[in-house]
A = this chain, B = another copy of it.
């Protein structure tokens, strides 16, 4: 129903998994009950802003508001980090040679 919301929740789960964290691990780190994390990820509850921020921070994510106009540019930054050959976790190369969204830090600064 709400694209922005679904997208946000999906990001949370994606990044958690990318960090190879279980809901329990995230629970331990964030202080939120595992059951609550499950409910949030599945859209069963509508978390409070502070809860979302807490969860995000634990996953080293920051929440920001972006003018809709700037969204494409911002997405471009968030999605990839530049053109690299070997890319994904398992050594696969994505079609366009770009990193997947929310890839783990391989420290490429």
Contact = CB atoms under 8 A, between A and B. Distances in A.
A33 interface: no
Interface of chain A, main secondary structure: helix
Given A47-B48, A70-B77, A53 B109 contact: no
Chain copies in complex: 2
A7 to B, nearest CB: 8
Contacts of A71: 62, 64
A72 to B, nearest CB: 10
B78 A66 contact: yes
Interface of A: 2, 4-5, 7-8, 11-12, 15, 46-50, 52-53, 56-57, 60-71, 73-75, 77-78, 102, 105, 109
